[in-house]
Amino acid sequence: MGGIETKARSRGGRQARRALRTASSFEMLPALERGLPLCEPMDEEQIRRVDEASLAILEEVGVVFRDDIALADWRRAGADVRDNRVHLDRELVRELILTIPESFTYHARNPQKNVQLGGPHSIFVPMTGAPYLRDLDDVRRLPTLDDLAMFHKLAHMLPALHSSAHHIVEPMDMVVSHRHLDITYSSMKHCDKTFMGMTTSPKNAEDVMEMCAVLFGETYLEDHPVTTGNCNGNSPLVWDETMLGAMRAFCRRNQPVLCSPFVLGGANTPASTVPTVVQVNAEALSALAYTQVIRKGCPAIYGHYLSTVSMQSGAPMAGTPEISLMNFMIGQMARFYRVPWRTSNTLGGAKTFDAQAGYESATTMSAVLHAGANYIWHSAGWNEAGMHCSVAKFIVDAEQCAMGYRMAEGPRWDDFDEALAAVRDVGPGGHYLGHPHTQANFQRAFFMPRMFDNNSIEQWQAEGSVEITERALKYARKLLADYEEPKLDEAKDEALRDYIARRKKEIPAVDELNQVH
């Protein structure tokens, strides 16, 4: 399988090469089923040590839940609540997280695009939350709803992306207090893959749930995860009212949330990797446990947002060795608890789509694949510490996801004997290009990145010295020109639009920004 698009199998030779040049299918890759062994730096005793230390923090230090409903819930659940600080007994935590499903099917409106999540299955989800974009002309500017639609269309077409996410970019032309409605509709309409639900407030989360009920049917939701919502913690050891309220909106409808401590390593965690993992683990466990207080058996996802902080400038950093190490260890903890887990991909602080962006993104991609993350968020477009989503980078990152997918599947052994027969046929000093095994297998054998130019400098110059940003933007334009809308059922579409119109009348138009990563 080669290039950024999945290609139809063909019979090889000249015909295959022609097919490769012309045919394009935008068929989504199924959820990745990992075949490569994972990077697991901790032995069993070290995992126990992190577990014990985390549970000791939950018992002895406690976690602040800045939310009266949550505090009341915790009291009812038998926790030791002092003011707004909840001390969680280790037995209670262990018992609560036991009912979180180890894996589940994440349903799309097109059932062919349902994906398995958890265990050996991983999905790639685009970045979200950018207040700026670098557009089809690589100009950095404020995004509109049309720009968001563009990203949702690209997410629809790029095979290794498994979701349209939600607000890939913030549609700044929409009123803030109504924006979640426009965003959710765009995610549903332009792409028939899974999507994310806004958690910018409990009320907004309720609206997302209502819209999901319109799209999928109220009873369907009860048994089928159809969206995911992110809830960030305020590290160290605090969960706030907005996030907890949104969490309740999701969990009550049996929809999974990502329980994501927000790590600025060294600033809101200790200046040390393993102890940072302990704190993150305690925080994630406290929220995961709370999802089961809200609704026992509800799917939930162990999350985190990981950065380390430059002690020179205070800026968050990405692609650093400690982020890779923490990913490896957090993966082990999530598997120890048998809970699916979320990480972040392609993070970085570059201001343009330069070599820094490439190094940071590829380092992170590799780390999260070796770590075995299930829900690989921010997998396309992220740049400038999340301040902008780059169209060019979105395209290249999506191809990197396809390449990472191929690596993480592990080696194939299915043509071992056949290919070794070719070694005997060809013999010393021969070449394989004309051999029938090569002609039949080259397409799937070696990934051919469309976004990387591997020609000679003379060829490259003759073709206009086109750099990667321009190549990617050209391809984005081609994709958008080829885009075919995956039509929503007309009655559902109308019902969604009716719901949005009604809510826009009910909700006061307020322009105050609330960002979620």
439 close to 18: Cβ distance less than 8 angstroms: no
271 close to 313: Cβ distance less than 8 angstroms: no
- Rounded-to-integer distance, Cα 156 and Cα 384, Å: 24
For residue 443, the minimal CB distance to a second copy (Å) is 7
Cα distances (Å, whole numbers) of residue 102 to 71, 176, 334, 365, 459? 27, 36, 10, 23, 51
Tokens of 278: 């302990």
Amino acid letter, residue 171: P
Amino acid letter, residue 177: S
Angle formed by the axes of helices 436-445 and 13-22, to 10°?
20
Cα-only R_g, the chain? 23
For residue 77, the minimal CB distance to a second copy (Å) is 19
For residue 488, the minimal CB distance to a second copy (Å) is 35
User: For residues 146 and 470, which CB has a smaller minimum distance to a second copy in the complex?
Assistant: 470
3-state per-residue secondary structure call for 67-91: CHHHHHHHHHHCCEEECCEEECCHH
User: For residues 229 and 265, which CB has a smaller minimum distance to a second copy in the complex?
Assistant: 265
CB atoms within 10 A of CB 374: 27
User: For residues 64 and 212, which CB has a smaller minimum distance to a second copy in the complex?
Assistant: 64
User: For residues 37 and 508, which CB has a smaller minimum distance to a second copy in the complex?
Assistant: 37
For residue 387, the minimal CB distance to a second copy (Å) is 7
For residue 111, the minimal CB distance to a second copy (Å) is 29
User: For residues 156 and 370, which CB has a smaller minimum distance to a second copy in the complex?
Assistant: 370
Task: Give the end-to-end CA distance of the chain in Å, rounded to a whole number.
Answer: 33
For residue 298, the minimal CB distance to a second copy (Å) is 25
Strands 85-87 and 80-82, sheet pairing:
antiparallel
User: For residues 180 and 388, which CB has a smaller minimum distance to a second copy in the complex?
Assistant: 388
256 close to 294: Cβ distance less than 8 angstroms: no
69 close to 244: Cβ distance less than 8 angstroms: yes
Query: ∠ CA 430-432-434 to the nearest 5 degrees?
Result: 110
User: For residues 203 and 444, which CB has a smaller minimum distance to a second copy in the complex?
Assistant: 444
User: For residues 422 and 480, which CB has a smaller minimum distance to a second copy in the complex?
Assistant: 422
* 3-state SS class at 143: coil
Amino acid letter, residue 41: P
User: For residues 140 and 203, which CB has a smaller minimum distance to a second copy in the complex?
Assistant: 140
For residue 214, the minimal CB distance to a second copy (Å) is 39
Pick from 294, 321, 383, 286: which is nearest to 304 by CA?
286
User: For residues 254 and 438, which CB has a smaller minimum distance to a second copy in the complex?
Assistant: 438
- Rounded-to-integer distance, Cα 394 and Cα 311, Å: 30
For residue 271, the minimal CB distance to a second copy (Å) is 4
- Rounded-to-integer distance, Cα 139 and Cα 182, Å: 24
For residue 255, the minimal CB distance to a second copy (Å) is 27
For residue 466, the minimal CB distance to a second copy (Å) is 10
